[in-house]
Amino acid sequence: MDDFRPKIAADGLKFIIPLAAVTWLFAVFGCCMFSLISGVLTGFTIFFFRDPNPNIPEGQNLVLSPAHGKVVSIKTSVEPDFLQKEMQCISIFLSIFDCHVTRNPYPGAIKSTKYKPGKFHLAFSDHASDENERFSIMLETENKQNIVISLIAGFVARRIVSLVKMDDKLSLAQRIGLIRFGSRVDLYLPKDVNLLVSLGDKVIGGQSIIGEFTAK
């Protein structure tokens, strides 16, 4: 059934419908220039809120990208919201031209969520992870491993929309949220995950492979 759902994020309809209505009204009253401008804005908004179904790769123990964008940081750092221990942190920057629907990187159950108000530094800056507004989700896998996904608002993006709640059991690549108009996602993984991405890689949410849990 998922293949037949509209490929537009539901949260975007509150922007798209009014813009389309204004475009139509301008056209009806012969305001061609305003109709053109409004039409372009409507088209961009539809493009921004697109929600394509990913081609989920086959394989066991794969960790997928939670977002479309560019890998701007790979480092070992202390996860600040839940575990307070060193983990591998992969940061993905989403420009206004990327799809902003975020997806679950690995099957598991939500054990905790946390909203942290903050600043709105540019999402690709070093300060964004620590100081910007964010919504974080901690997952527990079947093997009792923990993964943390932090949705971070940027200079332009000032609204984080969560599509999940506590105790939800998430499937691979399930939609978990949306960040409007330019943002960042930090993915915290255990140290025994074998990373398969490099700095500067372009990734696709729910499709690109970030890493793989080592078999035990």
Under 8 Å between Cβ of 214 and 192: yes
Determine the longest span between alpha carbons in the chain, in angstroms.
68
Q: Which residues contact 27 (CB under 8 A, 6 or more apart)?
A: 35
Measured distance CA(50)–CA(84) in Å, rounded: 35
> Looking at 129, 183, 198, 208, which residue is catalytic?
183
Is the CB of residue 178 less than 8 Å from the CB of residue 102? yes
Is residue 183 part of the annotated active site? The answer reads: yes
Q: Residue 25 forms beta bridges with which residues?
A: none
The catalytic residue positions are 183
